[in-house]
Amino acid sequence: MLRFVLRRLLLVIPSLAGLLVMTFFLIRVVPADPAAALAGENATPAQVAEIRRQYGLDQPLYVQFAVYLGQVARLDFGESAYSRRPVSLDIKLRLPATLELTVTALLLATLLGIPLGTIAAVHHNRWPDTLLRILSVGGIAVAAFWFAIELQLLFAMQLDWLPLRGRMSPGLTAPPTLSGFLLIDSLLAGRLDAFRDALRHLVLPAFTLSLGGLATIMRFTRAGVLETLQKDFVTYERAQGFPPHALIWKFVLRNSVVAAITQIGLLFGSTIAGAVVVETIFDWPGIGFYTVQAILTADYKVMLAVTLLIGVIYALVNILVDVVHGLIDPRLRERG
């Protein structure tokens, strides 16, 4: 199993190297004059020249790339023009909020998507299936930013059931940071009031963010279950008197979720991207909100760091997905 994980780690290296090259090109080569871009709109020619020298932009490209690699290795992305703090510090402070949101959203998508997809498959071509199919196509078609606003309109503004924005009510003191996940930290601190508050704040953004993933996981689970139901071993298990519920929810499902779990890995990327939009609308103090601010204020260092970060997270999640596959299907473990 360890060898399996190590092999997967090695396979990621080319992708990460490519990502480094691409980000370097985006920042240093695509803009006509990166020094002018870095200096900002109102800089004098002297300031631009100073920045060019200071950032080594007058050096040959390969030297610049080497310097860039060194900076990335030290996680030194410079200071954010927007917050006036080191970018790595900002990210460190904001990452847990985004992870809590995306993990909750994906968890929601998985916990709802797998059973719903299974139900659709079991009732193949009857009304529960049709209904769930329309819902799943709708879930992908809906624009998250609009859906979020409509949810705010209904549940926060009109009905006043849930908070409009933020991660925690202003009056509450946050529990001591251990995991960075407010839900976990408040439970660890025994602060049920904080837990309830954090949960209430999480509902709308997490639900909005889960929609795309929910639809995708549902579709892949449905297709997987339908395919498995055709298999000989299902006939055999029925013939041997396996009760229908155990047959479907244990023996068929485990064979069917492999494709859906692959999707969870792929979805992590799109969910984090979705967080950019959702965090902006719900004023969620995470990476997504930070990214939008950085992009709107042309804060290149932040954009660079965030792009790299997401690429790395994406790669790691895909390794995790492979490992989970190995756990589910013993044949994959041995193939390596």
Partner 1 sequence: MLVLAKFAKDKPAVLGATIVLLIAIVAILAPLLAPYPADVSASHLLRRLKPPTWAHPFGTDNLGRDIFSRVILGARGALTIALMVVGISMLIGVPLGLVAGYYQGWASEVIMRVTDVFLAVPQLILALAIAQLMGPSLQSAMLALTLTYWPFFTRIVYAEARRLEASLFIDALQCIGARGPRILFLHILPNCISPIIVRATIGMGFTILVAAVLGFLGMGATPPDPDWGLAISESRAYLPDAWWFSTFPGLAIFLTVLGFNLLGDGLRDIVDPRLRRSR
Partner 2 sequence: MSDAALLEVRNLRLSVRTDEGIAQILDHVELVLPHGHILGVVGESGCGKSTLARAVLGIVPKTATIESGEIRLEGEDMLRLSDREMTERVRGRRIGFIPQDPYLALNPVFTIGSQLLSPLRWHSPPTLRTERERRGHLVSLLRRVQIPEPEAVLERYPHQFSGGQRQRLMIAGALACGPSLVIADEPTTALDVTTQLQILKLLKSLTEEFGIGMLFVTHDFGVVAQLCDSITVMYAGQTVEAGPTREVLADPRHPYTRALLACHPDRSDGLTGIPGLVPSPLAPPTGCRFTPRCTHAVEVCSRRTPRFVSDSPGHLVSCRLADEHRKVGL
Q: Is 107 in the site for partner 1 (CB under 8 A)?
A: no
Pick one of partner 1, partner 2, none as the site partner of residue 240 (Cβ within 5 to 8 A by kind). partner 2
Q: Give min distance, CB of 224 to partner 2, in A.
A: 12
Distance in angstroms (rounded) separating the CA atoms of residues 233 and 216: 27
Where do runs of H (alpha helix) occur along the chain?
Answer: 2-24, 34-39, 45-54, 61-73, 87-122, 127-141, 144-151, 182-188, 192-229, 232-239, 244-246, 253-282, 287-296, 300-328, 330-335
Pick one of partner 2, partner 1, none as the site partner of residue 11 (Cβ within 5 to 8 A by kind). none
The three-state secondary structure class of 75 is coil
167 token code pair:
């991660």
The three-state secondary structure class of 86 is strand
- Closer to partner 1 by Cβ: residue 144 or 198: 144
Residues in the interface with partner 1 (CB under 8 A) total 52
Distance in angstroms (rounded) separating the CA atoms of residues 34 and 43: 13
Asked if residue 269 lies in contact with residue 216, where contact means CB atoms within 8 angstroms, the answer is no
Pick one of partner 2, partner 1, none as the site partner of residue 189 (Cβ within 5 to 8 A by kind). none
Site for partner 2 in 185-224 (CB under 8 A): none
Q: Is 314 in the site for partner 1 (CB under 8 A)?
A: yes
Where do runs of H (alpha helix) occur along 283-329?
Answer: 287-296, 300-328
Pick one of partner 2, partner 1, none as the site partner of residue 269 (Cβ within 5 to 8 A by kind). partner 1
The three-state secondary structure class of 79 is strand
Site for partner 2 in 222-261 (CB under 8 A): 231-233, 235-244, 246, 251, 254-255
Instruction: Give the count of beta carbons closer than 10 Å to the beta carbon of residue 335.
Output: 8
Instruction: Give the count of beta carbons closer than 10 Å to the beta carbon of residue 334.
Output: 9
Distance in angstroms (rounded) separating the CA atoms of residues 222 and 229: 11
Distance between first and last Cα of the chain: 9
Pick one of partner 2, partner 1, none as the site partner of residue 310 (Cβ within 5 to 8 A by kind). partner 1
Q: Is 137 in the site for partner 1 (CB under 8 A)?
A: yes
Stretch that binds partner 2, among 20-28, 175-183, 275-283, 324-332 (CB under 8 A): 324-332
Q: Is 307 in the site for partner 2 (CB under 8 A)?
A: no
Q: Is 65 in the site for partner 1 (CB under 8 A)?
A: no
Site for partner 1 in 252-311 (CB under 8 A): 269-270, 272-274, 276-277, 280, 291-292, 295-296, 298, 303, 306-307, 310-311
Q: What secondary structure letter does DSSP report for 175?
A: P
- Closer to partner 2 by Cβ: residue 44 or 125: 125
Please compute, for residue 148, the number of CA atoms within 13 A of its CA located in the half-sphere on the CB side.
25
Q: Is 150 in the site for partner 1 (CB under 8 A)?
A: yes
- Closer to partner 1 by Cβ: residue 100 or 279: 279
Give 79's strand partners. 86
Three-point CA angle 275, 162, 170, nearest 5°: 80
CA dihedral 266, 92, 29, 11 (to 10 degrees): -40
Distance in angstroms (rounded) separating the CA atoms of residues 7 and 68: 27
Give 86's strand partners. 79
In the list 103, 183, 223, 316, the residue contacting partner 1 (rule: CB under 8 A) is 223
- Closer to partner 1 by Cβ: residue 67 or 296: 296
Q: Give min distance, CB of 194 to partner 1, in A.
A: 28
Query: Where does this chain bind partner 2 (CB under 8 A)?
Result: 231-233, 235-244, 246, 251, 254-255, 328-331
Query: Where does this chain bind partner 1 (CB under 8 A)?
Result: 14-15, 18-19, 21-22, 26, 30-31, 37, 133-134, 137-138, 140-147, 149-150, 152-153, 157-158, 222-223, 226-227, 269-270, 272-274, 276-277, 280, 291-292, 295-296, 298, 303, 306-307, 310-311, 314-315
